[in-house]
Amino acid sequence: MELKQYEFWFVVGSQDLYGPQVLDTVDRRAREMTDALNASGLLPCPLVYKLTAKTNAEIQDLVRQANYDPRCAGMVAWCHTFSPSKMWINGLASLQKPYCHLATQYHREIPNEEIDMDFMNLNQAAHGDREHGFLGARLRLPRKIIAGHWQDPQVQRHLGQWMRAAAGVQFSRTLKVMRFGDNMREVAVTEGDKVEVQARLGWQVNTWPVGQLVETMASVTDQEIAALMERYRASYDFATDDLDAVSYQAREEIAIRRMLDREGCLAFSNNFQDLYGMRQLPGLATQHLLAQGYGYGGEGDWKVAAMTAILKFMSQGMDGGTAFMEDYTYHLAPDGSYSLGAHMLEVCPSVAAQRPRIEVHPLGIGDREPPARLVFEGHPGSAIVVSLIDMGGRLRLICQDIQCVKPILPMPNLPVARVMWQAKPDLTTGLECWLTAGGAHHTVLSYDVTAEQMRDWARMMDMEFVHITDGTTQEALERDLFLADLAWKLK
């Protein structure tokens, strides 16, 4: 699924009061601005100028089309002139697509000699946008507001980032998740209300028997396996002689992908307690599928599988990397605290600092043969970790800022991919906040998606958002969670 297949509709607010000459100028400038924004290279999807709106009927008609058109991932509005907001009410009250209010103006600076009453009539964004802002607030419209000059790369980048989050909303609404088996026995945080999630987020989460995967594996040909082994060789170093174990992972990958593609699923989960008929837990197989953009969650965690797919989609074309992650253990030294993230096997190589190695080691749990897996270190850089939890009656999205580092220890006997980071505001405060909010051990770690984009996504999805930042204190967080709990119960 391509991010570029979505488009965003640009609508410029005005009214008939100003006469055709002003409206022609507004229309011409809107086209010029659209062309410039598209040419900036900072928007991931095309912006399509639709109209300069002058009436209630025009806006309602455009919103109806936007709701109906699956390519339209959102609307971007701006008021070049004053645009009385009552004519926007009927349209915006029925809008089902993400909405961005771009508060800009055509001219960058006030032209000292040129400015007169004609100029003032034409260039009224400063108060036209305030009328529009009032209506958004009055309607409680979930909206993104971006202010600044449209030629400023900062503004263009900001709009582009919002587009990625909004496209993530559309992606979410069509996402299908394939579950192999159920969740790991007795685990609470990986559970959740799949009916509620489908109603709110659109996810279709369904189960397929592991036996069907085993049958599909049996139908994979030697030629298909050989071709995939060549792809492994092109991307990874083979640090094992056990080619049988590696080719078994290739067989698993081909079979899982065949089932995913047949059902139109872009994320999957499995559980090491339910591998009946399989010789190895998929490791390398899952990692290579993750590298191709599929979402994955271990131990039946379908929520993190879906979130991984969504963040991967939102960051398509970027190169920082996004991975299914798990907090494993801490380094609580007086001179510096670190979190070590890893998983039994399935960390995505998109976050690797160097060319991953394929290794084969025993697993210790799951009662299967030693699986082949990719081993590597995650690269340094600022990132976020994200966890979606079911609070009973509503969802909470928790996002924490982190700073990834080159692992401070080589850990030569750790047989899995690993990422090391310093959590914000610091390890122990961050941990206290994370536990207070109820964040899971499974997360999505992304170097590309920002906390602001997750906040945008959560707002559009109508869910609670908790952000643990450099400035978060446990006291403030507790108060915020208490108030949010009251508010969300009333909603």
Query: Smallest gap, in angstroms, from Cβ of residue 449 to Mn ion?
Result: 21
Query: Smallest gap, in angstroms, from Cβ of residue 299 to Mn ion?
Result: 5
Query: Smallest gap, in angstroms, from Cβ of residue 33 to Mn ion?
Result: 47
Closest-CA residue to 349 (of 387, 375, 386, 317): 375
Q: Which of residues 196-255 bind Mn ion (CB under 5 A)?
A: none
Q: Which is nearer to Mn ion, 422 or 443 (CB)?
A: 443
Residue 156's CB: how many other CB atoms inside 10 A?
A: 22
Strands 372-375 and 357-360 come out as: antiparallel
Query: Smallest gap, in angstroms, from Cβ of residue 55 to Mn ion?
Result: 55
Residue labelled with tokens 């065949």: 258
- The dihedral region occupied by 321, where left means phi > 0, alpha psi between -120 and 50, and beta the remainder, is left
Q: Which is nearer to Mn ion, 330 or 488 (CB)?
A: 330
Q: Which is nearer to Mn ion, 298 or 439 (CB)?
A: 298
Q: Where are the beta strands (DSSP E) in 230-291?
A: 237-238, 267-269
Q: Which is nearer to Mn ion, 22 or 323 (CB)?
A: 323
Residue closest to Mn ion when measured from CB atoms: 298
Closest-CA residue to 11 (of 41, 34, 35): 34
Query: Smallest gap, in angstroms, from Cβ of residue 285 to Mn ion?
Result: 17
> Which helix (H) or strand (E) covers residue 357, if one does?
strand 357-360
Strand partners, 419: 341
Query: Smallest gap, in angstroms, from Cβ of residue 343 to Mn ion?
Result: 6
300 binds Mn ion (CB under 5 A): no
Residues 6+ apart with CB under 8 A from 29: 80, 106
Q: Looking at 72-80, 290-298, 331-339, 396-404, which segment touches Mn ion (CB under 5 A)? A: 290-298
327 binds Mn ion (CB under 5 A): no
Query: Smallest gap, in angstroms, from Cβ of residue 346 to Mn ion?
Result: 8
Query: Smallest gap, in angstroms, from Cβ of residue 207 to Mn ion?
Result: 19
Q: Which is nearer to Mn ion, 14 or 269 (CB)?
A: 269
Residue labelled with tokens 């059902």: 263
326 binds Mn ion (CB under 5 A): yes
In angstroms, rounded to a whole number, what is the distance separating the alpha carbons of residues 312 and 132? 33
> Which helix (H) or strand (E) covers residue 485, if one does?
helix 474-490
Q: Which is nearer to Mn ion, 400 or 443 (CB)?
A: 443
Query: Smallest gap, in angstroms, from Cβ of residue 44 to Mn ion?
Result: 31
Total residues at the site for Mn ion (CB under 5 A)? Answer: 3
Q: Looking at 256-264, 288-296, 322-330, 428-436, which segment touches Mn ion (CB under 5 A)? A: 322-330
Q: Looking at 48-56, 109-117, 295-303, 460-468, which segment touches Mn ion (CB under 5 A)? A: 295-303
Q: What is the DSSP string of 141-192?
A: --EEEEES-TT-HHHHHHHHHHHHHHHHHHHHHT-EEEEES-PPTT-STT--
Q: Which is nearer to Mn ion, 160 or 298 (CB)?
A: 298
Q: Looking at 251-259, 311-319, 321-329, 351-359, which segment touches Mn ion (CB under 5 A)? A: 321-329
Query: Smallest gap, in angstroms, from Cβ of residue 50 to Mn ion?
Result: 46
The pair of structure tokens assigned to 135 is 């209506």
In angstroms, rounded to a whole number, what is the distance separating the alpha carbons of residues 173 and 154? 29
Residues 6+ apart with CB under 8 A from 307: 295, 386, 388, 444
Strand order in the sheet with 47-53: 47-53, 7-13, 72-79, 99-103, 143-147
Q: Which is nearer to Mn ion, 98 or 283 (CB)?
A: 283
In angstroms, rounded to a whole number, what is the distance separating the alpha carbons of residues 405 and 392? 36
- The dihedral region occupied by 352, where left means phi > 0, alpha psi between -120 and 50, and beta the remainder, is beta
Q: Which is nearer to Mn ion, 253 or 299 (CB)?
A: 299
Q: Looking at 36-44, 315-323, 324-332, 458-466, which segment touches Mn ion (CB under 5 A)? A: 324-332
Q: Which is nearer to Mn ion, 299 or 359 (CB)?
A: 299
Give first-to-last CA distance, the chain, whole Å.
34
98 binds Mn ion (CB under 5 A): no
Q: Looking at 27-35, 318-326, 364-372, 465-473, which segment touches Mn ion (CB under 5 A)? A: 318-326
Q: Looking at 224-232, 260-268, 319-327, 373-381, which segment touches Mn ion (CB under 5 A)? A: 319-327
298 binds Mn ion (CB under 5 A): yes
Q: Which of residues 408-467 bind Mn ion (CB under 5 A)?
A: none
Query: Smallest gap, in angstroms, from Cβ of residue 462 to Mn ion?
Result: 28
In angstroms, rounded to a whole number, what is the distance separating the alpha carbons of residues 240 and 244? 10
Strands 372-375 and 99-103 come out as: unpaired
Q: Which is nearer to Mn ion, 122 or 345 (CB)?
A: 345
> Which helix (H) or strand (E) covers residue 228, if one does?
helix 222-235
Q: Looking at 22-30, 75-83, 214-222, 299-307, which segment touches Mn ion (CB under 5 A)? A: 299-307
What is the binding site for Mn ion (CB under 5 A)? 298-299, 326
